[in-house]
Chains A and B, each alone.
Chain A
Amino acid sequence: MTTVIETADLAAAYASGPPALSGVTFAADEGQAVAVLGPNGGGKTTLFRALLGEIAVVRGTITIGDATAYVPQTERSRLDFPVSALDVALMGAYARTRWYRRVTAADRASARAALERVGLADQARTRFGELSGGQRQRVLIARALVQDARVLLLDEPFGGVDHASEQAIMDTLDDLRADGRVLLIATHDVEQARRWDRVLCVRGEQIAYGAPADTLTNAVLEATYGPEIVMLDCGHRAVAIQHHHH
């Protein structure tokens, strides 16, 4: 297995402030999905922005062997814009389109293929804002595929989607893993985190990293979520409940 993404003692900061996240050391191989688990404001987005090169790395190193794409939460985008699912997928080609040129026919074909891959070929002309939350999430994943990204940073991809949509997104993500892509999935849902190959727990700094069974212990979860956490022990399953701050 080839290691695609790796950090060593990574610390990242906004502007000239103190590090918002520090001590992050993890590695992910081809085809692995890593849940990035932590409370809101715990540093999940900070980690993504550091991996994307958008904020300063003040200590440690990042090694990424492949193109990386960010898949934001869909409600962060303007749902009233007159853009179709295909238009949004095509945005993945903007970076390689010179300012004086139109998007190429090859990129259009690639956007259509990406929508087909996430199961939305028949919705290509539908306005983005009229799709369901889960469908929008899959369009944004298609956009990352048009970017030719081998590493996908997904910000709460299951936030606010119903069960059927969640399954459709899971299928899409499994398909991408089978293809050797690396997925980092930010979530504050412990049960969600259990489904993936690795879990990285963060709360301002790295709390733990490893396979879910080894990592998601009561001690680690308490350190991740702090005293606010309510632990419900249902057999082997610990469920973390916390207040949402947006």
Chain B
Amino acid sequence: MTATLTTGQPGPALAHDAAATLAASRPGLARRVKNRIATAAVVGAVALTAVPLALVIWAAVERGSARLDLTLFSHSMRGVVGQGGGLLHALTGTLLITAATAVIAIPLGISAAIYLTEYAGRARLASLTRRAVDIMVSIPSIVAGLAAYALFSLLFGPGTRSGLAGAAALAMIMIPVVVRSSEEVLRLVPGDLREAGLALGSPRWRVIRKIVLPTALPGLTAGAVLGVARIIGETAPLLLVAGFTDAMNYNLAEGRMATLPVFIYTQWSAKGLDTAAYDQRAWAGALVLMAVVVVLQLAARALPPQIAKIRRNR
């Protein structure tokens, strides 16, 4: 269409000519058909991607909502063999282990990102760090679990299982996620803000603390939340190093600690006589876990406008 527009003759008769060419420039049948097909294909692909998500949500709601009662959130599985019981112990474990993971991974990850963006320049250590992060991203989570298992066995005796060991394994998975997202966000902070800070007569680390980090804060938070969402559903490493228990355990440093993913797995894999009760608990657990992840994702989504603003202005 634009092509026909530009071929219009300049001159006094232009307006009339242009109108005539425009009228004649309606796309031909072949093009309209192609356009329809392409549009349908794209919309179909989008729908197809959304189908599994819809199915998962539907299945979890349909099978899990039966057990979405108060007992689920007020009881552990201690002494329960049939109906009843709850996932309080697993929910508590997930929250504790996730919090511990965040406490380990967020400061380390952001610090590494600060080093990479603010100090490293073209230093050798920087490319080494970046490569290490790239490799860590692709480490299978079960390997992270084994590494944590080995570490804690060495430190505290063979076969040590604890919430903290689980957090260590999850931190190995979360740190590279935080480093990558934080590095990206810190690079978005315009260089002239750093210069302006330095030109006010302040050392670099203070400029980073008072200007760069606050400016990037929404993005850093979003990255951290996405990192948490990434690890909160991890099962394999926790199965290895945090283990499983039917009872409450508030102590990260000692003893096995249940988590939601592992709860789902054990309910499903080790059914008692009343299999329906176990199935229902597994699906209810899945529903709760998904709800937690969705809440985290929404929280992350709600934060970034300020970073978007920076991108627009510069």
The answer to whether A binds B is: no
Identify the A interface with B (CB < 8 A). Answer: none
* Chain B residues at the A interface, C-beta cutoff of 8 Å: none
